[in-house]
Structure 1
Amino acid sequence: MVLVYPGRHDHNQRMTSERADSVRALYESFNDRDLDAVLAAMAPDVDWPNGWEGGRLVGRDAVREYWERQWREIRPNTLVRGLVDRPDGTVEARVRLVVRDPAGTVLERSEVTHVYAFDGPQVRRMTIEP
């Protein structure tokens, strides 16, 4: 569900829907392990959280290396529960996360909030909120 705040014009509502579709597509590509599709949606100097080991990553190459390393050890899967446009122009994604080991044993189930900032149509920054 995408919420559009009062006072926005129809043009912004269409952009909001496109942004929501873009964020949904990121999660689908992530779950499909289509790394090229996910990275193409990011700005070249994307600022991304290292939710697995801590810290932050800068740039598509750093994100690629991180996910390739991560996917050798664990199998995260995401389900988008809701999307909300925030007044500051970011998009909040409420996500159900299930992490398995390579044998399929569930290691973690959690609900997380990811917040996306954009540079035009591309993701510039993503943060994880408690």
Structure 2
Amino acid sequence: MDSPAKAVLTNLYAAFNERDIPTLLAALTPDVFWPNGWEGGVVHGREMVGVYWRRQWEQIEPIVTPTAFSTEADGRIAVTVHQVVYDKTGAKIVDHTVTHAYRFDGGSVAEMEIRE
């Protein structure tokens, strides 16, 4: 799959792993819906997603690597990712594969869903 959405998402994962908040937030719509995969629930709005990520990174060190992309019937982009999470001492606490599904609006991410 080659598309503008794939390029946006590839850059988004790279920015996440580099903890590059400005680049991350620039890829999101102002009213984005984002899952709080760490504590549960949903975060709404670009600013609140930034607050969530900063809080998360104070506690854990997640690394998320996309391994496959596909377009779903409803237009969402599904990304299979390998996710490894370390605590602040460097101990691995999570190592698994999940799917992230993204809905775009005007070239920006409007919503993300985590599927186990």
With structure 2 as the length reference, what TM-score do the two structures score? 0.97
Q: In structure 1, what is the equivalent of residue 55 of structure 2?
A: 69
2:34 matched to 1:48?
A: yes
SS at match of 2:3: helix
2:56 matched to 1:104?
A: no
Distance in 1, matches of 2:30 and 2:3, equals: 23
What's the Cα RMSD here? 0.8
- In structure 1, stretches of 5+ residues that fail to align are 3-15
Q: In structure 2, what is the equivalent of residue 93 of structure 1?
A: 79
Distance in 2, matches of 1:60 and 1:18, equals: 21
Q: In structure 1, what is the equivalent of residue 107 of structure 2?
A: 121
Q: In structure 2, what is the equivalent of residue 39 of structure 1?
A: 25
- In structure 2, stretches of 5+ residues that fail to align are none
Per-residue CA deviation, residues 74-95 of structure 1 (Å, 9 max, x unaligned), is 0000111100011211100000
2:8 matched to 1:19?
A: no
Per-residue CA deviation, residues 2-43 of structure 1 (Å, 9 max, x unaligned), is 2xxxxxxxxxxxxx5111111111000000100110110000
2:43 matched to 1:78?
A: no
Q: Give the superposition deviation at 1:96.
A: 0.3
SS at match of 2:75: coil
Q: Give the superposition deviation at 1:129.
A: 1.2
Shift >2 Å, 4+ stretches: none
Distance in 2, matches of 1:112 and 1:49, equals: 13
Distance in 1, matches of 2:84 and 2:64, equals: 7
Distance in 2, matches of 1:30 and 1:75, equals: 11
Q: In structure 2, what is the equivalent of residue 10 of structure 1?
A: none
Number of residue pairs matched by the alignment: 116
* Greater strand fraction, Structure 1 or Structure 2: 2
